[in-house]
A and B are shown apart, each in its own frame.
Chain A
Amino acid sequence: MSQRNRLATGGRIDRTRPLRFTFNGVSFQGYAGDTLASALIANGVDVLNRSFKYARPRGVVTAGADEPNAIVQLGATEAGQVPNVRATQQALYDGLVAKSTNGWPNVDRDLMGVIGSLGGKFMPPGFYYKTFMSPASAWPKYEQYIRKAAGLGRSPRETDPDIYDHMHHHCDVMVVGAGPSGLAAALAAARSGARVILCDEQEEMGGSLLDSRELIDGKPAAEWAAAVVAELSALPDVLLLPRTTANGYHDHNFVTLHERRTEHLADLAPLANGRRQSRARMHKVRAGRVVLATGTHERPLVYARNDVPGNLVAGAVSTYIRRYGVVPGQRLVLSTSNDHAYRAALDWHDAGREVVAIVDARDKPDGDLVAAARSRNIRIITGSAVIEAQGKKRVTAAVVAAIDIAGFRVKGSTQELACDTIASSGGYSPVVHLAAHTGRRPVWRDDLLGFVSGGVPGQIPAGGVNGRWSLRDAIADGFECGVRAAAETGLTAGTFTLPTVAPVREGKPVALYQVPHTKAAMRAPKQFVDQQNDVTAAGIELATREGFEAIEHVKRYTGLGFGTDQGKLGNINGMAIAARVTQQSIPDVGTTVFRPNYTPITFGAIAGRHCNEFFDPRRYTALHGWHVERGAAFEVVGQWMRPWYFPRGNESMHDAVQRESRAVREGVGILDASTLGKIEIQGKDAREFLNRLYTNAWTKLEPGKCRYGLMCKDDGMVMDDGVTACLAENHFHMTTTTGGAAGVLDWMEMWHQTEWPELEVYFNSTTDHWAAMTVTGPNARKLLTELVDIDMSAEAFGYMDWREAKVAGVPARIFRISFTGELSYEINVQANYAMHVWKALFEKGAKYDLTPYGTETMHVLRAEKGFIIIGQETDGSVTPEDLGMQWCVGYKKPYSWIGRRALTRPDTKRSDRKQLVGLKPLDPQVVLQEGAQIVLDKEIKVPMPMVGHVTSSYFSPNLGHGFALALVKGGSQRIGQTVYLPMADGKIHAAEVVSPVFYDSEGARHHV
């Protein structure tokens, strides 16, 4: 298909590199250097979308990030689908496939258009609220229908095969925007020796220089841009990031950038040098100073039917002609409030197409550009504006009338000018988003007719965003700001001379936003303010009339600025209309809040590398490889990958756990206990510190002995537990729960540093230094005797003793402690030797059927013994006494300890507190649900007082029935009573309250 709007020459596209692409199933051709929008314009495609609410046909309006209409669904493959891509910012590549975001069944014949055209009057702001408010239960149905009708793109249904990443940066000067002032600022800062990052959202750096009519140093502006970029790219401390949007400006000059690294190349990221590369990268920049050189967005005028395809902002017309070599039509009418927009007519004329007229709202325009238009014999209609566009899927004519701006009325008669394109300009809005992200409100400047930065510490606005609009001023301001930024980070200015740019005299613009119509706004054809959200001037009027006068309310009632474009094009016009109808000034109305992100970011870029296996660190023990080889099922415990159970063959989890549990009680089992937290404590006050930290006493624990300890928080509630061994008089080895290790060490440091700095003691985590293996069961001693060099007899090595020994030749500390209730030894070796010892144990253990067991069996066995697990039997509201562990609380210790005061309050002494008990279901096959609520009455009645809940529950092969631990109000007084557990499925289980110790209550099995 021919590119009928393409010029034979000119523009920055490469006509020797044609590219094929598909839009809505039709194949087209464009050139390298095109955006999707410029290529579609070149091919004469007018209708790109249907509008969100009224399903009106819509075409390209701008050439940048402010585009409200040309929003497409990109992707040749299902996995590569990207919603809501601005065609004006999407580089064309060979094979690109895009579809309209809206339009059902298609953009040219849209069913909703029928409803929309009928519905104009019936779909005022608040239509959905008003119409679908009741009954509330029907909302899901309504929503389904509304979403189908509206829709704003869709996410892929397949997993994204691309990868994304993050990168951190530090620099002296971060420059946002590589237009005239941004390039100048970056150059000035870099020549001053600053570390500079310069980012720009476009494919090519240069911004407005790439479509400027002006000369710099006597040469086309784009050549100066290229020279600056070349100089910057040769400097080692300058990072240039094209295709990179500064999306968020956060506190302390922290800026987040979104770099699109492959989206200009293909649907999915292609390999580079045979290797995967990230599709998008989020840069996290910490900058000394941020130079904001984001330029301006041109405001369109708000006139009737200004959304018909063929209505563009004036600057975009120039951009398409000069940068992309396409003219978006044949016959142009320009409606403007200022001189600068005359460029569009000049460029149009110079491209050899007809400028029907320039309609200028001012009575006596007289700047240099006006003179240039006059010299080309272009008709200029003054004191007037386009008040209405005609046409359905393309502009066919402009209705022009003289207007009285102050009186907001049309003067005299109207005339129709036949044309296919209307360009409009109502002035320029500085792009202040990044100056407002940290909460600073922008400030209105009457001389500019726009909001500028309210001033952010460390941020320096330069050029257009600073109200320095002419090319000459923008470059000068850029240099000045670059020098200032470098100086403020402690550097001295480098040398350079300003390039010469001839001054262009521009006349004063007039303030014009909504153009008056012959009919009142409520009766005139729709005058669109926010095209993406179908917000009209009449809609804003209606909102204010219904009482939504604050701009934030207007926004939420009408949808103004809620689109993926966040109202870049329409917001200021909307505020101006709200100001007019509420008879306030624009600054009185104020702006809505600007929030990150400036343009939409793919979730992949936000997630970066932190997904899949890197979502959360996985911590492995030294024995992990063995567990994997043995086919262990794993569970995550505080980031550790712990073997959960070791299935044999096709064994189910239940069967594996039953087998493992029996093996420990009847033979010998082994557990990888390396994940337990370990803290080494050294110092002459180590013992005293333990006395204050734990609830129980440590004064008399001798070297060679271990003791179980409970730790409470200062509120008296149990926070952690574990066994601590006295290694030597001033030397202890503490163990904590797996998940609590880091927290306990922090807790100890905090008390030591803030409360007891006089205690001479140091702590350090040794969790990773030691690998720990628990050998447990009646045959544990027999097995170990074969491997150790010490006397393992009960007399020489008693319960709660520890001994130094060599196990399979490896030096070890063996702790005779038991969490299973069986004869049990915990072997600790330096982790690098753990695999050798573990394998040696299995070699010798074969004849005892040494059985590896996981955390599930560990839980069953400890629960049979009534041993608690922190976080299961405790939840931050459980005292040692609640757990029946009074024996572990030393009220008589001479110095106070953490939690003592709270534990002597009446509340913690109440006899009706929830206390730990055992539950034995009356039906032995029943395994109660953990978390199930406990009641005292079998009959359901309301209210139903709940007296507790199940904390742990298993089926025990050793007991031959299900059993549970539970916290029950006054539980220790209820032993022998029957309680009930109503379940969600209507069943009610009955259980007897029993002692929490189900197995070997006298402890005979581990005292052997």
Chain B
Amino acid sequence: MSEIATFNAHPTVAVRAESPLAFSRVTVATLASAQGAGVCIRERALLGHLILRGKADDAGFRAGVESALGVSLPLKMGPVSRDDGRGVSVQWMSPDEWLIVVPAGEDLATEQRLRAALSGHYAVMQVSGAQTLLELSGPNALEVLKKSAGYDFHPRNFPVGKGISTTLAKSTAVIRRTGDTQWELIIRRSFADYLFRWLLDASEEYGVFVAR
């Protein structure tokens, strides 16, 4: 009897996948071009998202994760481990929890690599359908974040590379700084429309462009 039931969520035939923003993307109007926009929002839809749980103080666990993912396992809140070339990132979420983002369709393979490398008390769960990633950028992106969250986004407290999880409006988001004026927000599917519309509304005064 197998201990864990892995599941390949992806069809092998051509099937139209819809991101969490499929509904709001067609029902909300924004600027036609990025020219003059203070804020730009781009959805990086349909990526692979996984939650990893395990013991940070177990050397075998750490080594296993790093060998399976090819990036270091962050052991405290701070810089997100990333390999942008392969599109892999690992973010510390809590003392025994990490968020792994991988390219579209690679969630099961990532899970399988982790399971092959790990043993004992750990868990890997796919959440690719549960969330989506938004890139928020532009000269006024910071103001939009300050309107939406109580966290201190100043570079002294939030340098490029750092990732956190916090409240965003009346929902939550994972927020990562990828550049001086570039951010990634990872938001839950069911709150995605609310947050997307919130961000557009908060960005309105700066001019907002939503990239296709």
A169 within 8 A of B: yes
What residues of B have a CB within 8 angstroms of the CB of A619 in the complex?
A: 190-191, 194
**Contact mask for chain B residues 78-91; partner A; CB cutoff 8 A; 1 contact, 0 none:** 00000000000000
Cβ contact of B191, chosen from A195, A617, A813, cutoff 8 A: A617
Q: Is the CB of B126 within 8 A of A170?
A: no
Q: Is the CB of A811 within 8 A of B9?
A: yes
Q: Is the CB of B3 within 8 A of A684?
A: yes
What residues of B have a CB within 8 angstroms of the CB of A624 in the complex?
A: 23, 193
- Given A275-B205, A609-B147, are A769 and B194 neighbors across the interface (CB < 8 Å)? no
Q: Is the CB of A831 within 8 A of B130?
A: yes
Cβ contact of A766, chosen from B125, B197, B198, cutoff 8 A: B125
Report which residue of A168, A272, A727, A765 has the largest number of chain B beta carbons within 10 angstroms of its beta carbon. Answer: A168
For residue A561, give the distance in angstroms from its CB to the closest CB of chain B.
33
B64 within 8 A of A: no
A728 within 8 A of B: yes
Q: Is the CB of B194 within 8 A of A762?
A: no
What residues of A have a CB within 8 angstroms of the CB of B156 in the complex?
A: 195
Q: Is the CB of A811 within 8 A of B190?
A: no
For residue B105, give the distance in angstroms from its CB to the closest CB of chain A.
11
Assembled-state Cα–Cα distance A76/B56 (Å): 64
Q: Is the CB of B4 within 8 A of A730?
A: yes
Q: Is the CB of B129 within 8 A of A769?
A: yes
- Given A272-B205, A617-B171, A760-B121, are A728 and B5 neighbors across the interface (CB < 8 Å)? yes
- Among residues 162 to 212 in chain B, which have CB atoms less than 8 Å away from a CB atom of chain A? 169-171, 188-195, 197-198, 201-202, 204-207
B2 within 8 A of A: yes
What residues of A have a CB within 8 angstroms of the CB of B18 in the complex?
A: 622, 832-836
Q: Is the CB of A683 within 8 A of B190?
A: no
What residues of B have a CB within 8 angstroms of the CB of A614 in the complex?
A: 169-170, 194, 197-198, 201
Q: Is the CB of B128 within 8 A of A833?
A: no
Assembled-state Cα–Cα distance A619/B188 (Å): 10
B57 within 8 A of A: no
Assembled-state Cα–Cα distance A618/B154 (Å): 30
Q: Is the CB of B150 within 8 A of A833?
A: no
A770 within 8 A of B: yes
B68 within 8 A of A: no
A408 within 8 A of B: no
Size of B's binding interface in residues, CB under 8 A:
65
For residue A739, give the distance in angstroms from its CB to the closest CB of chain B.
13
Specify the main secondary structure of chain A where it touches its partner: mixed
What residues of A have a CB within 8 angstroms of the CB of B1 in the complex?
A: 703, 728-729
- Given A195-B154, A809-B13, are A617 and B204 neighbors across the interface (CB < 8 Å)? no
- Among residues 18 to 46 in chain B, which have CB atoms less than 8 Å away from a CB atom of chain A? 18-20, 22-23, 26, 46
Q: Is the CB of A168 within 8 A of B3?
A: no
Stretch at the interface among A13-21, A276-284, A818-826, A936-944: A276-284
Assembled-state Cα–Cα distance A834/B15 (Å): 10
What residues of A have a CB within 8 angstroms of the CB of B117 in the complex?
A: none
What residues of B have a CB within 8 angstroms of the CB of A273 in the complex?
A: 207
For residue B132, give the distance in angstroms from its CB to the closest CB of chain A.
9
What residues of B have a CB within 8 angstroms of the CB of A768 in the complex?
A: 20, 127, 129-131, 188-190
Q: Is the CB of A609 within 8 A of B201?
A: yes
Q: Is the CB of A764 within 8 A of B20?
A: no
Q: Is the CB of A703 within 8 A of B15?
A: no
Cβ contact of B146, chosen from A167, A610, A620, cutoff 8 A: A167
- Among residues 726 to 784 in chain A, which have CB atoms less than 8 Å away from a CB atom of chain B? 727-731, 760, 762, 764-771
Chain A residue nearest to B150 in the complex (CB): A168
What residues of B have a CB within 8 angstroms of the CB of A277 in the complex?
A: 205
What residues of B have a CB within 8 angstroms of the CB of A766 in the complex?
A: 125, 127, 130
Assembled-state Cα–Cα distance A624/B198 (Å): 18
Assembled-state Cα–Cα distance A622/B130 (Å): 10
**Contact mask for chain A residues 690-720; partner B; CB cutoff 8 A; 1 contact, 0 none:** 0000000000000100000000000000000
Cβ contact of B143, chosen from A167, A703, A767, cutoff 8 A: A167
Assembled-state Cα–Cα distance A618/B13 (Å): 33
What residues of B have a CB within 8 angstroms of the CB of A907 in the complex?
A: none
- Given A619-B190, A727-B5, are A830 and B154 neighbors across the interface (CB < 8 Å)? no
Assembled-state Cα–Cα distance A776/B183 (Å): 45
Assembled-state Cα–Cα distance A768/B23 (Å): 15
What residues of A have a CB within 8 angstroms of the CB of B13 in the complex?
A: 809
Assembled-state Cα–Cα distance A195/B191 (Å): 34
Assembled-state Cα–Cα distance A834/B3 (Å): 28
B75 within 8 A of A: no
A203 within 8 A of B: no
- Given A276-B205, A703-B5, A804-B7, are A620 and B23 neighbors across the interface (CB < 8 Å)? yes
Assembled-state Cα–Cα distance A813/B22 (Å): 23
Assembled-state Cα–Cα distance A728/B189 (Å): 27
- Among residues 772 to 822 in chain A, which have CB atoms less than 8 Å away from a CB atom of chain B? 804, 806, 808-811, 813
For residue A321, give the distance in angstroms from its CB to the closest CB of chain B.
39
- Among residues 830 to 870 in chain A, which have CB atoms less than 8 Å away from a CB atom of chain B? 830-836
Q: Is the CB of A609 within 8 A of B202?
A: yes
- Given A276-B205, A625-B23, are A617 and B194 neighbors across the interface (CB < 8 Å)? yes
For residue B33, give the distance in angstroms from its CB to the closest CB of chain A.
15
B160 within 8 A of A: no
Chain A residue nearest to B4 in the complex (CB): A731
What residues of B have a CB within 8 angstroms of the CB of A813 in the complex?
A: 7
- Given A619-B190, A830-B128, are A170 and B154 neighbors across the interface (CB < 8 Å)? yes
Assembled-state Cα–Cα distance A896/B209 (Å): 57
What residues of A have a CB within 8 angstroms of the CB of B188 in the complex?
A: 768
Chain B residue nearest to A614 in the complex (CB): B198
**Contact mask for chain B residues 110-142; partner A; CB cutoff 8 A; 1 contact, 0 none:** 000000000001111111111100000000000
- Among residues 259 to 302 in chain A, which have CB atoms less than 8 Å away from a CB atom of chain B? 272-273, 275-278, 284, 286
A1002 within 8 A of B: no
Cβ contact of A833, chosen from B11, B149, B195, B202, cutoff 8 A: B11
Assembled-state Cα–Cα distance A778/B203 (Å): 51
What residues of A have a CB within 8 angstroms of the CB of B127 in the complex?
A: 764, 766, 768-769
Q: Is the CB of A682 within 8 A of B123?
A: yes
A446 within 8 A of B: no
What residues of B have a CB within 8 angstroms of the CB of A680 in the complex?
A: 125
Assembled-state Cα–Cα distance A655/B102 (Å): 49
What residues of B have a CB within 8 angstroms of the CB of A810 in the complex?
A: 11, 15
Assembled-state Cα–Cα distance A724/B26 (Å): 36
B152 within 8 A of A: yes
A-B contacts, 5 of them at CB < 8 A, read A609-B201, A610-B170, A682-B124, A766-B130, A809-B12
| Extra pairs beyond A617-B169, A620-B23 (9, CB < 8 Å) | A609-B202, A625-B26, A683-B121, A684-B3, A727-B4, A762-B123, A804-B7, A810-B11, A830-B9
Closest 9 interchain pairs by CB?
A: A830-B9, A831-B129, A768-B130, A762-B123, A769-B130, A170-B152, A619-B190, A682-B123, A727-B5
Residues of A within 8 A of B (CB): 165-170, 195, 237, 272-273, 275-278, 284, 286, 609-610, 613-614, 616-622, 624-625, 628, 640, 675, 680, 682-684, 703, 727-731, 760, 762, 764-771, 804, 806, 808-811, 813, 829-836
